[in-house]
Amino acid sequence: MTSELSPAAADYLLAFADDEHMIGARHTAWIGMGPFLEEDLAFCSIAQDELGHAVALYEFLTDDVDRFALLRKPQEYRSCAFAELECGDWVDALVRHWLYDRAEQLRWEALSGSANQSISEVAVRAEREESFHRAHAESFMSRISASNDTSSISKLSEAIVRLLPVAQGIWQPSDREEEAIREGFATASSASMAQSWNSMIQEDLLRWGLDIDVSSSTGALGSRTERSQGFERLLASLQEVINIDPATAW
């Protein structure tokens, strides 16, 4: 299903779709690597949801989701560095999941009010799923924080401090975001969502008793037209099988 979208709306959706695809792809690396079986099951489920969101968004942009999602050139992707990032440690994957899903909440809310009825319906459905993801992140972040174990809390805090600057890159707008807002396709700018996001995560940290000042974390927004370090390796891995015989259906 492709629908008539303005170039600005398509550009706006591409950034979000690629973020969802990359975060879903990165989450799959953590299946079977969690601290216990229930966590492996949760990450399986979350990764499926994110990939499902990517499919739902790509369907607005193409009739051939798999080829579009997997077979573009690196410079044609518009994902942010945070979604592309390879996490070397499970705690980083957890913290990214919390920061990303907090941002995702705002991004879906902004689309749920879209003048485009189809994207609005997708957004409402996706946001319902996201509430479970946030509950999952909250349950881990709050319980590790409540352990009173200095070493565990340090591990968590260090991961937050390490990832916060990269996470800011989620808010790098697509090139024609202002136009997409003027058209009524999107209802909030990345800059305003970034402000809300900063407040939300600061409130989360306060609730968990973690002494981290979000406002002191400044990261370069980065650019959605430049790929992060490691992206080419990620893409090569995503394409490894389909590239064996790209002309054939798999």
Partner 1 sequence: MLRSWKDLDHFQEFIDSGGIVEPGDDMPDEYRSEVFRFIEFHANSELMGGLTERDWIPKTPGLRLKQIFLAKTQDEIGHAHLLYMVAADMGVKSRNQMIEELFAGKSRFHNVFHYQAVTWADQVAIAFLVDAAAFASQRAVFAQCTYGPYKRVLKRIVAEEGFHLRHGEDMLMSLAEGSPIQHQMFQEALERWWWPAVQLFGPDSDPADPLLKWKIKSERNEVLRMAYIQKFVPLLQGYGFKIPDDELRYDEASKKWLTSEIDWEPLKATMRNGGPDSRRRIANASANWSETRWVRDALDAAADNQSKNAAADGLARSAGTAA
Q: Which residues in this chain contact partner 1 in the complex, by CB under 8 A?
A: 21, 24-25, 28-29, 31-38, 40-41, 44-45, 47-48, 51-52, 54-55, 58, 65-66, 69-70, 89-91, 140, 143-144, 146-149, 151-152, 155, 237-238, 240-242, 244-245, 247-250
Q: Which is nearer to partner 1, 8 or 22 (CB)?
A: 22
Residue 88 CB, nearest distance to partner 1 (Å)?
11
**Tokens, residue 204:** 């989360």
Q: Give the Cα separation of 145 and 109 in Å (integer).
A: 28
Q: Give the Cα separation of 151 and 140 in Å (integer).
A: 16
Residue 184 CB, nearest distance to partner 1 (Å)?
29
Amino acid at 65: V
Q: Which is nearer to partner 1, 52 or 219 (CB)?
A: 52
Q: Which is nearer to partner 1, 22 or 180 (CB)?
A: 22
Question: Counting runs of H as helices and runs of E as strands, what totals does the chain give?
Answer: 10, 0
Residue 43 CB, nearest distance to partner 1 (Å)?
9
Q: Which is nearer to partner 1, 135 or 191 (CB)?
A: 135
**Tokens, residue 59:** 């369907």
Q: Give the Cα separation of 96 and 142 in Å (integer).
A: 15
Q: How far is CA 21 from the centre of its chain?
A: 8
Residue 65 CB, nearest distance to partner 1 (Å)?
6
Q: Which is nearer to partner 1, 197 or 231 (CB)?
A: 231
Residue 127 CB, nearest distance to partner 1 (Å)?
19
**Tokens, residue 249:** 């259906």
Quote the DSSP letter at residue 248: S
The residue behind tokens 């900063």 is 198
